[in-house]
Structure 1
Amino acid sequence: MFLNEMRNKDNIGVKWTIYSIVFTIICFNLVAILTLFLGNAKVIEESNIERLIINGDIILAVFSLICCYTFYYIYKEDDIFIICQVYTMVTIEFIVINTFGSYWGIEMRDRFITITAIYLYEGFLLSFIVYKNNILFKCILNNKLLSCIVVSILSISIIFAEIGKVISYEDVVIERIFSYLICGLIIFHFILVFVLFNNSIKTKRIIYSIFGASINILTVKNLYIFVLYNKLPGNINLFGYVLTFVAFLVIIIGLFYEMIFRIKESEKLKRNLNVFYAANEKNLQSNILVYNDNYKIVYANELARGVIGEGTTIEDQYDRLEKMSIFNIDKEISKDIKKIIELKGTYSNVLYFSDLKKYYEVHLQKIVTDDSNWIIGNFIDKTDECEAIYKLKISENRLKSVTENILDFIITIDISGRITFANTSAIESLGFKVEEVVGHNYGEFFKKYDGEVFGINNIKNSDIIKHKILCKNGESIRVESVFRRISSDFQAYVVVSRSLEMKEELKSLKVKYNEIKEYDKIRGEFFANLSHEVRTPINIIYSCLQLLNNQKKNGYESLAKYYIKYEKTIRQNAFRLLRLVNNLIDISKIDTGVMQIKIKNVDIISLIENITLSTAPYVEEKNINIMFDTSIEELIVGCDPENIERVMLNLISNSVKFTPKGGEIFVDIQVDETWVYVRVKDTGIGIPMHLKDVIFERFVQSNKSFSREREGSGIGLALVKDIISKHNGEVMLEDSSEMGSIFLFKIPNLVRDDVCHDDDNRAAETAIQEKINIEFSDIYDI
């Protein structure tokens, strides 16, 4: 923000400078025109003073040309090169005409009105500054040295050709034609000056105003000469030489001013960029490296330099980093990386660095500047995660080897009854191919002795079932099978069957079962180490604190600005952590039986309505309409108001999170003799029906990827279910053909005789705002 403010201030200063130049030129033109047409121009013969001014003009012309080319050499801007070409022609014209004009016997008036072709060519080049999309403009820029030579030779040739024309022709008609042509060119130059000023205002570049002012003065000079020539044939006004002197002086002073201005801008930008340099240099999360277009390291932040060890010099650190560079670890890998960067401009992958014995998540981005290419590298240490994945794969391979080496049949069946896995022993013994078993219903193979299919949902985990399995050749194998649910969270089974002739291999089933449990444990520990919901707010808060810490050296005013900017971000992510910790604590309390429900007799209608209305400002900030409706105005029931409040805030925050702008949320209360029904309905994206039965289980989310658009830990609805269960109620996701989701919970319509009536909600109303902030902390755009 502070960079934008400084940039706006600088833009205002540049704009006023441009306006001042334009205003001065307008006043100059008005005065010059009034003096020209209303004043009495004196006839001045060529004198020593006039010759002195001409010599001064020649010196300034040469110096201004040197300044133009110097400015172009420093900043390499295409527009400046075209200006250089224009002033090359102006300088050559002025020097040749005023040096050799008297020698060839050309009168003073003819020195200014007969060089029509070169004046036309000057206007032609100036038009390229405005209209750049043409082949000739690109051709000039692609052949700069040749263009300079051509312009010089062409200028001299045109001048000598037209001088010869002046000496050879004295026809009045021809002279009048050239007069009209020069008049048109003067008007054309004034139009180009206007376009240059307009371009200067739009782009906020003073350099256009400087060139516009100089060209304007030269054009006014030509206007003076043209008018005085028609009034006073045979003589010329000394004011023309003075204007030429001023025009060259303006371009020289203007270029010096522009160079000083740009130097100051560069110094200011350098000071401002120190903030971002410090943020990268002190970044504790990522190793940041910068490569040049030769893939050599030109910068590494403190964390990256520290990877190779402490106690070494910076030069030694860079030398060692270069040896371990991603472009040096392997020729083939380096070649592939370079190819991908050239094609896509980015590269992302996880690579192993053998010298460091670490895995890094590598992100490379190609940055193209005016004069070179750079590659920004971000290296994140993923060693712990990769080692966990490696252990997980070892466990999977071990599990696979165990199942493949057991003679028992090991088959897994999902909730729909489809076989999802069958080991080699089962496939080979039954005579089928893998695709003939996997994906088919278990009833095609599992039969009772009388040929009927038995239902696995009615089988207990401890049951050992004797049945037969059909083979491809039509025969059957008599087996006894043990059915085990893979998890209590969903109906899926692993079935271990053995031939009755091989009953002695029963012990292998326990080995298999224990290894599956071990596999699940390792997988759970792995995902726990990658806890996105804990690290994300911590990283954000830490990054904000880093920025604030970097602002201390800039004074308390700068620190205050940054604090105001990032205060909301820090508070919101602190609330996210607090919400996650509270949910985990409450889940743990429920599991251990510590959590207690404090029942009070309260007006449930008023309680739900107050909660809904309290969230309205938050919801409306997202451009979502929330409405409340009830079938009864007052109803006293026994419940825990704080936990009911928590349930409502959780359901409403979920609705806000998954409802787009312009959507609606409906809170409705219905009552019968037994139950109080509370519905929270929204017009959001809805919940897939296959998650209907598991959405209230812990750590279940419709989108578990780290790149998901909406944050959440997946335990909020599980907590809602536990709280409602403590009230002897139920919570469910209702079926709906409309877009969105409908959550319904019901609690008993009972008044407790063993508790008092509570109608003082002032304390609760005071704390509800903070509770809303905590529950809504995952909604970033609120």
Structure 2
Amino acid sequence: MLSIYNKISDYIIVLSCTGKIIFCNESLLKRLNYNIGDILDLNILEVTKSKENNVKDRLIELEEMNITLDFYTKSNELVKINSNIIIEYFNNEKSIFIIGKEVDSKSYTMEMLEDLLDNIKIAAFITNEDGKYLYANKSFNDIFNLTREDIIGSYNSYYFKDEICKEIEVNNREVLNNKSPKIFNQKLVVNENVHWYKSYKCPLYDKNNRFKYIVAIAENISLAKAVSEEVYKNFNRTMTNSDYNDIKHHNADLNKILSNIGECILDCTQADGLSILMYDNGKEGLIPFIKLKNANKHLKNIKFIPCRIDNIYSEKYKSHFNTMYSKGQISNLPIYNQICIEGLDYAANYRIELSNEFIGIITLSYISGNSPKYNSDEYMKHICNKIAMIIKNIRLSNQVFAENKMRKYTEIELEQYLKVSADLVSMVGKDGYFKRVSPNWYKVLGWKEEELLSMPIDYIVHPKEAENFRMNNSRDNDGDITRHIIRFRHKNGHYVHLEWSSMYISNQGVYVTAARDITKNLEIEREKRNLEEAVQLEIVKNEFFSNMSHEFRTPINILIGTMQLINKNIEQNNLDIENLKKHLNYIKQNSYRLLRLVNNLIDISKMDTGVYELRSSNQNIINVIEDITVSVADYTKDNKINLIFDTNVEELITCCDPDKIERIMLNLLSNAIKYTPENGYIEVDINATEKDVIISVKDTGTGIPDDKLDIIFDRFGQVDGSFNRMCEGSGIGLSLVKNLVEMHGGKINVTSKVNEGSKFTFNIPIKLKEENNKDYDFDRKFKHVERCDIEFSDIYSV
């Protein structure tokens, strides 16, 4: 018996007379998420979470009655079970049986579903594998003007010709074979009228994967298809009219096209009248263009309706368009105060517009006893957009036709222009040959017209520019104007510089070109440029010597003055050890400054002559940069500047010149210290990627103006060019740094904001030397102090 209980889908739970659970079938266990061992011997109170202790007594009282009990799953989810209570024997003991099903949450009925399907515009139906109709909604029945009883049990052969039936059968078979839904565009002929439907068909299967039936919906797209075809047709007509030679007469009849579309709209909407009113921008009003059925009555004798566009789009009338209105509201609609509205129950205005251009209005009207079956507002807005495209295409076609009639006159005018133009005017084909040239070609290049027309244009273009000339022309788009300076060969052999302009006209496959002889202008510009360069070079030399004189004079004056002071103290026998040390430090600092300046000049000169070489070896570049950063800590401390060092790797071996890396870092750090105020920050950061090690030196100093960022790496380039500078310097340090970085195969750049600080970033490629040169792998820490003293010699303590 227990095995039978477990196979039953209904929920079964058995209680003892004390309320303990002594059995629960598998269906209920699964729903409550319990194992049999978890639930046995539990009290019913624990599963129903009832606060009443007399639950078992109440269940006995409810014997043979139907009641909804609240059960809770193991995860505390509420499950409502519609239960029957029965008192029977279980294992020879009187027990309480609770048998039930979960309360169905569905509140809808089949009648509701049928009402839903019968009140939608889209046709819906169900067929079996053989195409027999099992169900059809009202919209589907209305297609054939039949009742549901007439449709159910029938086949497609009752309504359609053999060719249509075969196509429908092929579609059904495709859906069945693929076991997946599909959308079809289907042509149907009903009562000799052609209709197009977009149908969606879906095969359904039961839980055992056995076929049940095909459910389908179908939407009438006849109007949309007709309008789309007219759009495509008129677009093709416009494109055809663009070629004057193919036009014999213009045959786009806008009135006929819009009348045909209007008839389709009437058929789709079942309206009693339709009119299309075109907007006249000059007169600022609407002109009745198409009047179908009852619209002839309502627009009788009306030739023009004054109406400004800003009124149509005003807040007052904006909401009155693109929607349907009932009889009581019609008189309040724009334009209807001038139209006879007698006998109308419903009316609607839909704007015809494209890309914010107002073109006109479509009006629909329904007489008494007729009303819109469905809300077609969104659909009509879509149709109006397509109609706007048709009108624009036809207008464009008419315009193109008229313009092409003037083409022959333009060609005559072009001939006259070519004769009188001072420029070298020509037309060049895509094949690279001249098609037409003006007389000035002969005057400037010495080639006769027949000679030019017989040879490709790149025959007289300078060989170094011929390939670029062809590539530039091959990339031209229709209407683009390109300009180049090209050397053309004169007939006697020398080259003439022409300023060449061309525009490609795709429908003719030619380039229209114009050129001017600028050879003399270029010679004048070249002489002017040479003169300016000579003047600038002289200015640079003067600035350099002036700067160098200042740089040498300042430390020399300090050295001489200090020596004189020492000698004076010696003569007066006033020599103090502390003062002597102080004077010796002045001598040392300014000697280092002279040495630094001389070293920089020598190194720059070596780099210019190509004799400066790196002495590279495999080094731990992290240690090299960290050591030199640590070595300048005293300078930053003396200047009350916080120095921060950070790296994302602890060790990275690469081939580099450690002395030159130190020199790069010392120069960047000395610049940062010079221009960073007290309590500022200098951050040295190292980041390693797969290919490069990237080092940055960031400060919170005075920053660099945007217009100076491009020159700071130039030789002798300084941000502050005045003689009263914050810090001394020749202006060649960053140029030297740039050269050293590039010699390592890297690049350096700077970002900066005035009064916020600067950040110099350079990268060194990661690579290893096959045979490591150990000659230079010595401890450089002992030389760091001296190198720092030399590099920082132009930083004076206040």
Give the TM bin, normalised by the shorter chain. 0.3 to 0.5
More strand by share: 2
More helix by share: 1
Relative contact order (C-alpha < 8 Å, sep 6+): which is higher?
1
Structure of larger gyration radius: 2
